[in-house]
Structure 1
């Protein structure tokens, strides 16, 4: 994702269904470094693996802030099926990391928490607007196009 500002009013160049995956962790006990550090360090190699494999289905991602104990990532996927296929593939980095996390979680007694949410958003049920911004979010994942006439909204501008 570049940092160059795209002038003017833009929208994401997305058509059809959009899959948004939010994933993160929370450090519940700072001193239990052995429980939370491996969890924190597992995400960057997974993102690198996904970003270098165009067939994975990952379209883009961005780290989310949340405070000194909360870490997260928003991801955009081609489909829920590709997301689940990656998550369950024993030859990819996620499955072994998930197994190791579960083992540490049993011993760590809540020292680290994890969460994820998957949203499958039907075509026409999302709206985007970027005004003098670098490609961001869904716009970074799908690219951006001019919004169109004044008052046109996000994806709805396609139908106008």
Structure 2
């Protein structure tokens, strides 16, 4: 993984190969139902802590964001789709217990629309993503994969969007 060279003002992510991005979040539908949405929020924090303790599971980096006073989400960058799916279905992972509980609550009619949950997964092939950072520390894709001077990936957005790692 590369780091930002001294004096580099404009950089790009040093991602090679496919990029796996998971957007996962929640929407508070009823603010007064704190007992319903706080556990969802805390479960996400606990899953992120679990993943941080075990880098071998494949989470490279994440950013927690707020879209509105109701909507909170995490952008996650993964090593591979296989590692993401393995974590999601691993019986020893906290995610497995949380998902089983949510499914039981839905079947039992205990979920009454107090909190919404969602996720979107994207596997972006190499040569189909681009990133620019101006006077920024590693953030987003660059925090997951490192960063290099912008010129190493081309002079234009078109060049960087179609860049491919040299064959080894």
**Does 1:128 find its partner at 2:134?**
no
Which residue does 1:151 correspond to in 2?
155
1:12-51 alignment runs, 5 A limit: 12-51=13-52
User: For residues 52 and 6 of structure 1, do their structure 2 counterparts lie closer, same or farther at Cα, with a shift above 3 Å needed?
Assistant: farther
Q: CA RMSD in A?
A: 2.1
Q: Deviations over 1:102-139 (max 9, x none)?
A: 33443131111000000000010001111101111000
Structure 2 residues not aligned, in runs of 5+: 1-5
| Displacement of 1:156 | 4.4
Distance 2:21 2:163 in 1: 21
User: For residues 20 and 91 of structure 1, do their structure 2 counterparts lie closer, same or farther at Cα, with a shift above 3 Å needed?
Assistant: same
| Displacement of 1:13 | 0.6
Q: Deviations over 1:36-80 (max 9, x none)?
A: 111111011110111121211111000011111111000000111
| Displacement of 1:32 | 1.5
1:119 to 107, 119, 122: 122
Which has the higher mean CA deviation after the structures are superposed, 105-114 or 147-156?
Answer: 147-156
Which has the higher mean CA deviation after the structures are superposed, 95-104 or 132-141?
Answer: 95-104
User: For residues 42 and 6 of structure 1, do their structure 2 counterparts lie closer, same or farther at Cα, with a shift above 3 Å needed?
Assistant: farther
Which residue does 2:79 correspond to in 1?
78
- Report the TM-score, using the length of structure 1 for normalisation: 0.88
Distance 1:19 1:63 in 2: 17
Distance 2:7 2:61 in 1: 18
Which residue does 1:102 correspond to in 2?
103
Structure 1 residues not aligned, in runs of 5+: none
